[in-house]
With several copies, the nearest count.
Chain A
Amino acid sequence: MDLNASLIISNILNPPVLFFFLGMTAVFVRSDLEIPAPVPKLLSLYLLFAIGFKGGVELIKSGITQEVVLTLLAAISMACIVPIYTFFILKLKLDNYDAAAIAATYGSISAVTFITASAFLTELGIDFDGYMVAALALMESPAIIVGLILVNLFTTDGKRDFSWSEVLQEAFLNSSVFLLVGSLLIGVLTGEHGWQVMEPFAQGMFYGVLTFFLLDMGLVAARRIKDLQKTGIFLIAFAILIPIFNAGIGLLIARFIGMPQGNALLFAVLCASASYIAVPAAMRMTVPEANPSLYVSTALAVTFPFNIIVGIPLYLYGIELLWR
């Protein structure tokens, strides 16, 4: 556990994570610090663009190998399987609607957690491949579909005749997925040449923008914490244990298909993280019976901070044990 603790500390002593704490502190001491709208939106557009573009440039360098295909298959599988077993765990305590919505939330991913993990790897000097961004993009949407299928199978209220075309549109063309995939493709098309002109913007600013964005996420997450009183101890425990469990499964798969360590960490983080933007929006539309405060608060105020602070170094420690 020694190594683990030192990893946690070296993670915590990163500017992005510390600014996340600073944001939370601002809320707790009732400072009037805030990042005015629409700045957080702009920062998240930038982060998606930068990670997507860089991923594309690196994907074209590495090419589409068997390793790439295996990784992407693993990603899609996890995005489909996680919501299913999560659903049955949640059904122990919650009704079908809430269980399905939370399951979809945890089956999907949090891009910011992924980006924070990639910054952590860069700082430790551990390599990872550009195609992990493609895995990120592929894992965002399937859980929405799986969640809806679960609701349809396990509830019998007949009149749920929402339009699937609209749901698919929300799932695959929401702005995050669209910008990420678009930037990835443009990265693939322009390659090294495009990267050179974009580098000062797409790379130089990256760490700083992430820091500012996490400052805002700290403010947002802390404001959500009072909602946790209503969610109850079961969901709070769930929101900490299921990421560890999902990351564990992710690591085993990663080991099995022989991913390099950097990729394995990112994959584990994708499995462990939960969506607090795209999936909640889709669930609110399609499963209005579920209570949004349950799925948003757990994902945003528990799982997100947990992954950012403890999860990322913990999963890396797991890798050091497993890959030995």
Chain B
Amino acid sequence: MHIVKRIEIIANSIELGKILDGLDKAGVHSHAVIRNVAGKGLREDLDMTMLDNVYIIAFCMPELLKTVVENIRPLLNKFGGACYISDSMEIRSVRCVASL
């Protein structure tokens, strides 16, 4: 077990590609994406039946955080969207069928 940061991003699905590129460039190569997320933000929103949000979760090393934020923040300014950071712990697992 060791400490990681959880990055949660909620954004319009049109931005998805760019956000994932941004994470990748910042050194965060793993992520999970949940689609078809409905939502309501600070700004009056487009209709979410048509243009749905995505919820992106990525766990990363704490030291990558600064670069991530620098890469993601300008993207969120465009269509709106929100980014949150919290603490978590990773259960390291080494793939090994034999141990099953």
Which residues of A are at the interface with B, using a C-beta cutoff of 8 A? 30, 32, 36-38, 40-41, 157, 159-163, 170, 216, 219-220, 224, 227, 276-277, 280-281, 284-286, 288, 291-293, 296, 300
Contacts and interface: CB of A to CB of B under 8 A. Distances in A.
- Taking residues whose C-beta sits less than 8 angstroms from the other chain, chain B's interface range is 20 to 34
Interface of B: 13-14, 17, 35-36, 38, 43-47, 49-52, 78-80, 95-98, 100
Given A37-B35, A160-B98, A293-B44, A284 B50 contact: no
A163 B100 CA distance: 9
A281 B46 contact: yes
A300 B14 contact: no
A288 B95 contact: yes
B100 A162 contact: yes
Contact of A281 (B17, B38, B51, B100): B51
A276 B49 contact: no
A1 B45 CA distance: 40
**Secondary structure at chain B's binding surface: helix, strand, loop or mixed?**
loop
A284 B76 CA distance: 12
Contacts, number: 65
A273 to B, nearest CB: 15
A160 B97 CA distance: 7
B98 A159 contact: yes
B47 to A, nearest CB: 6
B79 A284 contact: yes
B49 A40 contact: yes
Nearest to A297: B44
| Most interface-central of B36, B38, B46, B100 (chain A CB within 10 A) | B46
B49 A292 contact: no
B84 to A, nearest CB: 22
A41 to B, nearest CB: 8
Contact of B45 (A170, A286, A292): A292
B49 A220 contact: yes
Contacts of B44: 227, 291-293, 296
Contact of A32 (B14, B38, B43, B97): B14
A295 to B, nearest CB: 9
A216 B47 CA distance: 12
Contact of B47 (A161, A163, A170, A300): A300
Given A170-B14, A286-B97, 11 more contacts: A37-B52, A40-B50, A159-B98, A216-B49, A219-B49, A276-B47, A277-B50, A280-B46, A285-B97, A288-B97, A296-B47
Contact of B50 (A161, A276, A285): A276
Nearest to A175: B14
A43 B38 CA distance: 18
Contact of A285 (B45, B52, B79): B79
Nearest to A170: B14
Contacts of B38: 37
A-B pairs, 8 with minimum CB distance: A293-B44, A159-B98, A37-B36, A277-B50, A220-B49, A288-B97, A288-B95, A280-B46
